[in-house]
A = this chain, B = another copy of it.
Amino acid sequence: MNCEILAVGTELLLGEIANTDAQMISLGLSELGINVYHHTVVGDNPARLSAALEIAKNRSDIIITTGGLGPTADDLTKETIAACFGKKLYMDKEQQERLHQRMGARMTPNNEKQAMLPEGCEVLVNDWGTAPGCAFYAEGCHVLMLPGPPSECTPMFKYRARPYLERLCTDGQIIRSRFIKIFGLGESAMEDKLSYLMNTLTNPTAAPYAKEGECEVRVTARAASEKEAYALIDPVVAEIRGVLGDVVYGVDVSSLEEVVVKGLTEKGLTVATAESCTGGLLGKRLTDIAGSSACYVGGAITYSNEMKMKLLGVKKETLEAFGAVSAETALEMARGVRALTGADVGVSTTGIAGPGGGTPEKPVGTVYIGISAEGLDKVIKPDPRYMRSRQRVRNSTASHVFNLIRQEILEK
């Protein structure tokens, strides 16, 4: 089975937004073993949408469209697709009623248009917005229509389109995956270590993915039930964890900061941050996680030397002898923020994020990370070779901090 993802929206062609829906759907389809051979984007233009549909239905088994389901005159996806497949639209009373309930006084006549659906379709009920999606099979092709806004498209794919597709491609079986998350090992090194497994497994399969500064392995199984699927998956996950060792920071978790927040909260420990080169990014990423207030007390952003001394008690002699970007300063910052806040764990960053400020001895990307806790005082210096831009230095530094908390506090 192969699928084409056809996005409808002039805003994409004007460059106002990137086509993140196509990325999200592609990831989901690869999990189902459905090949994606084409992404296409057209504007809110019925003639060009029709032409794109004609092309798509001749080369694809499944067409998933995003966008153009709304109430305005521009929103022409359903009308155009129905015409292209020789179907009429009907007013779906149940969806009309849902719209009235959802919109109340805001309901206008043109909003009713959203409840017009192609005859014989399966309605994909939208619990995250107003426009319902739908799916039908015609002319040898499965067509699924999803709304465009990512806040609707993502759950509509996961909870509505995915079960429909799962029925199509698994002969009644279901598909489940686990994601093994890795920090501190490159994608090609990971593939070298796991190629013996990835090349021989058939059910489950194991596939590598590279993410910004991290990588992951997805283990996917088909089985009659969820329980049987995980029974196939879990021994492989255990084997991969064994082969890769400590670079695996979690399974089915979203990020290093999530692991840190959950882990510290479970242990009843608190953490405080002392940031120089990351300038608030450590706190930002920790507090991206809802519930982080259970373990994160806060900290200090000390961008200047004066603030490092004043807020964190870094010694003037240390700054003069070793510089602000040094192991000694990093350690005093971590100790200092722990003393300042009374947190169980203090972490710190100091480095040269660039683009200016580098020297031959301390080039851009030179970073020291400190951690201090009961019986622990440690500084690491990540390899600066992979830190090529200001954003990358800062993001990678923050990830190293969270990984250090995991290794030194959560897994000891």
Contact = CB atoms under 8 A, between A and B. Distances in A.
Contacts of A211: 16
Interface stretch (A22-30, A133-141, A227-235): A22-30
Interface stretch (A33-41, A90-98, A112-120, A169-177): A33-41
A63 interface: no
5 contacts: A38-B41, A275-B280, A278-B284, A279-B283, A280-B281
A297 to B, nearest CB: 5
A262 interface: no
A290 B356 contact: yes
Interface in A380-397: 389-391, 394
A372 interface: no
A277 B284 CA distance: 10
Interface stretch (A72-80, A194-202, A299-307, A399-407): A299-307
A265 interface: no
Interface of A: 7, 12-20, 22-30, 36-43, 45, 48, 51-52, 55, 59, 151, 209-211, 273, 275, 277-288, 290-293, 296-304, 306-307, 310-311, 340-341, 353-356, 389-391, 394
Contacts of A273: 280, 301
Given A279-B283, A280-B284, A340-B311, A15 B23 contact: yes
Nearest to A295: B303
Contact of A19 (B18, B281, B282): B18
B38 A40 contact: yes
Given A38-B48, A310-B341, 18 more contacts: A13-B36, A14-B27, A14-B209, A15-B26, A15-B28, A15-B36, A18-B18, A19-B23, A37-B48, A40-B40, A273-B301, A278-B287, A279-B283, A279-B287, A279-B288, A283-B303, A288-B391, A297-B306
